[in-house]
A = this chain, B = another copy of it.
Amino acid sequence: MPATADELRRVALELFASSGYHATSLQNIADVAGVSKASVLYHFSSKELLLEAALSPAIDRLGGILDDATGLAGDDRVRFLEQMVAELLEHRLAVGIFVTQSAALQDVPIVERANAFIQRIAIFFQANVDSPEEKMRFGIALGGTAYLLAQSANVDDFPDDAVLRPLLIAIIGELVTTSSRGH
């Protein structure tokens, strides 16, 4: 509810995504937000809790969608993919942090939550998780999407979301939907 806390969350998310968590200092965040470093630590009692506050809305939403989707099949799966892509676009900064910085953020609780989510969604898309090809196709779809979304936040001449969304749905579908390939 307090405007300053929201602003700090927003600024922190942007800086963590564009410069990396460890390369972003509380002083950086305070400067951009126009407050003192002590004020940042008044609203979020540690840097790690600030990261958690910045990321948790994304993982809550994505996790919620996945909760509603267990057991779906056929066209429902397509609708699920559409919802998921919309949410990935909405939370692209957080998704980029999850995927590209998870190695650098071991032992941070919320990142471990995110890794658990990635496990769940992998299982959702693949009946046979032991197949190397299915594993790889999912990994490429996931990492590729995250890379693309991170680019879309940093590069200026990037396609609009209106262009991005349907193409993303099509390409991801092509990668993770077994039936679209000859087997």
Q: CB within 8 Å of B: which residues of A?
A: 17-20, 22-23, 99-101, 103-104, 106, 132-133, 135-137, 139-148, 150-151, 154, 159, 163-164, 167-168, 171, 175
Nearest-Cβ distance from residue A53 to partner chain B, whole angstroms: 21
* A150 in contact with B19 (CB, 8 Å): no
A-B contacts, 23 of them at CB < 8 A, read A17-B103, A19-B103, A19-B104, A20-B104, A23-B104, A132-B159, A132-B163, A132-B164, A133-B167, A139-B144, A139-B148, A140-B140, A140-B145, A140-B147, A140-B148, A140-B175, A142-B147, A143-B145, A143-B146, A143-B147, A143-B148, A143-B150, A146-B147
Nearest-Cβ distance from residue A15 to partner chain B, whole angstroms: 11
> Cβ of A145: which chain B residues have Cβ within 8 Å of it?
140, 143-144
Contact A136:B150 (CB < 8 A) given known A101-B100, A104-B19: no
* A132 in contact with B101 (CB, 8 Å): no
* A103 in contact with B18 (CB, 8 Å): yes
Contact A132:B167 (CB < 8 A) given known A140-B140, A143-B143, A145-B140: yes
* A20 in contact with B103 (CB, 8 Å): yes
* A147 in contact with B139 (CB, 8 Å): yes
8 further A-B contacts with Cβ under 8 Å, apart from A19-B104, A20-B22, A143-B144, are: A19-B103, A99-B100, A103-B154, A139-B148, A143-B147, A143-B150, A144-B144, A144-B147
> Cβ of A18: which chain B residues have Cβ within 8 Å of it?
103
- Say which residue of B23, B141, B142, B151 sits within 8 Å of A22 (CB atoms): B23
Alpha-carbon distance A139/B148, docked complex (angstroms): 6
- Say which residue of B17, B132, B147 sits within 8 Å of A147 (CB atoms): B147
